[in-house]
Amino acid sequence: MVEPGDEGGEAPCFAHLVDESAAMPLAGDGVDQDAPVMAGTEVWFNPSCSKCRTAQGILVEHGVAATYVDYLGSPPSVADLRRVLGLLGVEGPRAIARRGEAVWAELDLDGATDDEVLAALAAHPILIERPIIIVGDRAIVAWPAELVLELLEPAPDGPAST
């Protein structure tokens, strides 16, 4: 994993740290077989979160086989977070921070720099908004979960990510 402040090289993906049991159900388990399957779909997933489970249900209904990353058990690195912020097209890490969490106040992050917030998100993944769904070069914080439908549509500047 890349440590805070390490900007070298391509951002690693931590999808290999997936809880495989969270990846079910997949295409073939009551899914519309005519629906397009979108390659490379990754979901930062908390199985205890109702929004995550709703987003998973929407993906399953649309035949999208995804990799579900237990980001609480295998937190993303600062480089992973930077990559996702770029895909989301947002300016800073506060856009994906759960600022109402007690640990946000305990760490006194209201006045923190972006680098300090990124380090806190990597160290305390409960602070990361969820679910984050990544399809190709696009990502979305699916809150509400129905926002995942935006990723199932063609990108505004190109063909669908199928």
At 4-37, the pLDDT tens digits run 333 333 333 443 333 333 333 333 344 444 444 4
Question: pLDDT-derived band of residue 158, with 50, 70 and 90 as boundaries?
Answer: low
Assess whether pLDDT exceeds 90 at residue 69: yes
What residues does each domain of the chain span?
Answer: 37-136
The question of whether 49 is a catalytic residue gets the answer: yes
pTM strictly above 0.85: no
The maximal CA–CA distance of the chain, rounded, in angstroms, is 50
Pick 37-136's CATH classification: 3.40.30.10, 3.40.1360.10, 3.40.50.720, 3.40.630.40: 3.40.30.10
CA distances from 144 to 54, 107, 113, 117, 138 (A): 9, 27, 28, 23, 17
At 124-156, the pLDDT tens digits run 999 999 999 998 888 999 988 888 888 887 766
Question: Pick the catalytic residue: 11, 49, 112, 149?
Answer: 49
